[in-house]
Amino acid sequence: MVVNSVTQAKAQLSALIERVQKGEEVIIARAGKPVAVLRAYDGSSRRRTPGALRGRIRIAQDSDELPADIGEAFGTR
């Protein structure tokens, strides 16, 4: 279903949400061009695994020191 304007979507938000809950996808347009899609939230997001990049990233020992030219640009030298 395509809603022709944001104003129309605001006025019909409850009805649009009901349609989305039934599995329909709603496209909201502004000035005749699609700008947003309203669809059901599926809740599927991957859980983060702490340490997943262990051994694949290396941080240099001097990573907390600014190079001289950058330090001068910031006025710290």
* Domain map (residue ranges) of the chain: 2-38
Give pLDDT tens digits for 20-51: 999 999 999 998 899 999 999 988 778 888 99
CA distances from 17 to 7, 9, 21, 37, 49 (A): 15, 10, 6, 12, 33
CA pair distance 25, 42, nearest whole angstrom: 13
- Across 1-5, 36-40, 46-50, 66-70, the highest mean pLDDT is recorded for 36-40
Q: Are 3 and 24 in contact (CB under 8 A)?
A: no
Total-model pTM: 0.54
